[in-house]
Amino acid sequence: MSNGIKTAFLMALMMGLLLFLGQLVGGESGLVMAFIISLVMNFGAYWFSSSLVLMGYGAREVSEAEAPRFYGIVRRLATQARLPMPKVYVIPTESLNAFATGRNPEHAAVAATEGILARLRDDELEGVIAHELAHIRHRDILISTIVATMAGTITFVARMAMYASIFTGGNRDRENSNPLGEILLIIVAPIAAMLVQFAISRSREFAADAGGAEISQKPLGLANALRKLAQAAEEIPMEKAGSATAHLFIVNPLVGGGVLKLFSTHPATEERVERLEQMAMGTLPMHA
C-alpha cells in the first residue's frame, strides 16, 4: 500500500469513527454536530496553527543578514526542491531540533533551534533542512493538522458521550442498544484515534526522510544528524515541547521509553538511520 493511499485510508477511518461517535451521542443530530465541530476546528487549525506554534516556541523570524548560513542553506535547497522560499525562524533553545509549518508551500516556514545551528556540520544541517522541505512539498503539515484536529474532536465527543451515559443513562431506551458495547467504544475511540494519528505521523516521517535525501543528495548527512538529535533529545530536553506539537519536529522532543515508545509520533531513530544508509548504498530509492 502506497504512503498516500495508507494516509487517505487512515484519515477516512478517523472520520468514520468521529461520525459514529457523534451518532452514538445524539443520533442523527449528533452525527451532524460532530461533523460541524470537525469542520470548524479544522478551519481554525488551517488558518492559525502555524502562527500559534511558532509563537508558542518563541521562534523569531530571521533575515539572511542575521543568519547567513542557515538562510543560505534553506534558499539553496528550496531552489533544488522547486519550492517557494519559506520564511526562516530560529527557536531560542540549546535543544537540537527543527520543524516546518505552513498550510501550503506558498505559506510555509522552517524553524530550527539555536542548538542545532551551532552543533551540526553543514552536510548534517542540509539533511535536516531538506527533510523539512520534503514535509512542505508533501503538504504533510496540512495532513497532520487535520488528523490532530480530528483526533482531538473524537476525544471531545467521546467525553460528551461518557457524561451523557453517566448523567442520563445513555441510550438505554433505544431498541437493540448495547450499553456495554457503547461504553467500551467511548473508552476505546480516543485511544484508537491517537494510534491512527501516530501511524500517519510515522509514515510521513519515513516519506520525508526519503524526500529529504533526494533533495539534498546527502542521505548520510541526515542519518548522522538524526543520531545526534536523538541523543541530544535526552541530554538537552526541550522545555516547551508538548504532545500536541511533538509530531512537527524532526525527532520527538518528548523523551520516553518502554510503553511510551508504542505511542511515539516518530519511528525509531535506528530504523530511520538504517533506511537512509540503504539509500546511500543505492538499495533503497531516495524519493517518496
Q: What is the pLDDT along the chain (288 residues), one digit of tens a residue?
A: 565 676 677 677 777 877 887 887 777 888 888 888 778 877 877 788 788 889 989 999 999 999 999 999 999 999 999 999 999 999 999 999 999 998 889 999 999 999 999 999 999 999 999 999 999 999 887 777 777 777 777 777 777 777 766 665 554 444 545 565 566 667 777 777 777 767 777 888 999 999 999 999 999 999 999 999 999 998 998 888 877 778 889 998 887 554 455 557 789 999 999 999 999 999 998 876
pLDDT number for residue 182:
62
According to DSSP H, which parts of the chain are helical? 3-56, 68-80, 114-119, 122-137, 140-168, 179-216, 219-235, 269-281
Contacting residues for 119 by C-beta, under 8 A, at least 6 apart: 96, 228, 232
Candidates 158, 154, 246; CA nearest to 196 is: 154
Residue 192 lies in a domain: yes
CA dist., res. 125 & res. 118, Å (int): 10
CA dist., res. 248 & res. 82, Å (int): 22
pLDDT number for residue 168:
57
pLDDT number for residue 245:
79
pLDDT number for residue 21:
78
Q: Whole domain around residue 50: which residue ranges?
A: 3-281
CA dist., res. 127 & res. 100, Å (int): 14
- In this structure, the number of other CB atoms found within 10 A of the CB of residue 82 comes to 9
Candidates 30, 220, 21; CA nearest to 128 is: 220
| DSSP H/E element including 98 | strand 98-102
Contacts 24+ apart (CB under 8 A), 229-235: 229/96, 229/97, 229/116, 229/128, 229/269, 230/269, 232/95, 232/96, 232/115, 232/119, 233/95, 233/96, 233/97
The 8-class DSSP code of residue 47 comes to: H
Residue 287 lies in a domain: no
Distances (CA, A) of 241 to 3, 26, 56, 142, 177: 27, 36, 9, 20, 43
pLDDT number for residue 68:
98
Contacting residues for 281 by C-beta, under 8 A, at least 6 apart: none
Residue 288 lies in a domain: no
With vertex at residue 85, the alpha carbon angle to CA 83 and CA 90, rounded to the nearest 5 degrees, is 125
- 132 as an active site residue: the answer is yes
- Residue of 28, 114, 124, 132 marked catalytic: 132
Enter the C-alpha cell of residue 87.
520564511
Count of structural domains, the chain: 1
CA dist., res. 42 & res. 105, Å (int): 18
Residue 268 lies in a domain: yes
Residue 8 lies in a domain: yes
Enter the C-alpha cell of residue 61.
523570524
User: What one-letter code names the amino acid at 107?
Assistant: H
